[in-house]
Amino acid sequence: MTDMLRVTVWNEGRHEKTSEKVRETYPEGIHGAICGFLNAAEGIEAKPALLDDPDHGLTDDVLASTDVLTWWAHVAHGDVRDEIVEKVHRRVLEGMGLIVLHSGHFSKILKRLLGTTCQLKWREIGEKEVLWVTRPGHPIVAGIDDHFIIPHVEMYGEHFDIPEPDETVFISGFEGGEVFRSGVTFRRGAGKIFYFRPGHETLPVYRQKEVQQVIVNAVRWAAPVAPAMRFECKSHEARWFDADWGKTIRP
């Protein structure tokens, strides 16, 4: 065992193979950029996993030794094998944290966990986004003022088809007037889930310090606080408590 928080940074990694613009924006890959700032944070050890790795980089050993999984994907959600999605789903229920980023909203794993389509509106003209903190004091917004601005983004707008979140920690406004629930939390089984909107393969959003701070905060927030939950249904015999009760309470 290690005292470090073990994070697996999953990336489908397809844009990096096909787009010069994406390679310019993230020469180390989006996973490399995310691993970079996570590994610079105290107490966090982040390793990449890619769609094209064996078992998508999510072998049983990797999943068993992951405290928090981050998920970036966009064009290849359908290439993620269902059996791997099932294993990730199980690990979340057992207590593994999951941070889903940007276009990961359409991933099989998020739709499986939330049970909705996760549809939203979008527009890509590089407009400005203001993210407003709606839960001051929440661990995920530690170190963030009452808002921060990302100068150039792809817009995501409501309606975002998700269940009512446990907590909404950011709401975004865009130049076109749309709004969006940009930071939302859910709990499924023993696992904590955070969806965070910022990202995009051709914009240097993951270089921005506030975005990095929120993801670091979210990883710490989502870390399991107990050993993995085991789903064993052990039933007791009827009146199983009577023996002890009789010894200790009756005169």
- Judged by beta carbon, residue 184 or residue 203, the one nearer Zn ion is 203
Cβ atoms 148, 162 nearer than 8 A: no
Closest residue to Zn ion, judged by C-beta, is 200
Q: Shortest distance, CB of residue 74 to Zn ion, whole angstroms?
A: 6
- Judged by beta carbon, residue 103 or residue 217, the one nearer Zn ion is 103
Q: Shortest distance, CB of residue 87 to Zn ion, whole angstroms?
A: 27
Please tell me the chain's helix, strand, coil percentages from 3-state DSSP, rounded to the nearest 5. 35, 30, 35
Q: Any idea which residue has 């792809």 for tokens?
A: 154
- Judged by beta carbon, residue 136 or residue 151, the one nearer Zn ion is 151
Counted residue by residue, the chain has a size of 251
Distance of CA 32 to the CA centre of its chain: 16
Sheet holding 97-101, edge to edge: 44-50, 5-11, 68-72, 97-101, 191-196, 179-188, 167-174, 121-133, 147-157
Footprint of Zn ion on this chain (CB under 5 A)?
103, 154, 200
Cβ atoms 67, 99 nearer than 8 A: no
- Judged by beta carbon, residue 123 or residue 147, the one nearer Zn ion is 123
Cβ atoms 58, 107 nearer than 8 A: no
Q: Shortest distance, CB of residue 120 to Zn ion, whole angstroms?
A: 11
Q: Any idea which residue has 């409501």 for tokens?
A: 158
Q: Shortest distance, CB of residue 47 to Zn ion, whole angstroms?
A: 24
- Judged by beta carbon, residue 195 or residue 221, the one nearer Zn ion is 195
Q: Shortest distance, CB of residue 244 to Zn ion, whole angstroms?
A: 59
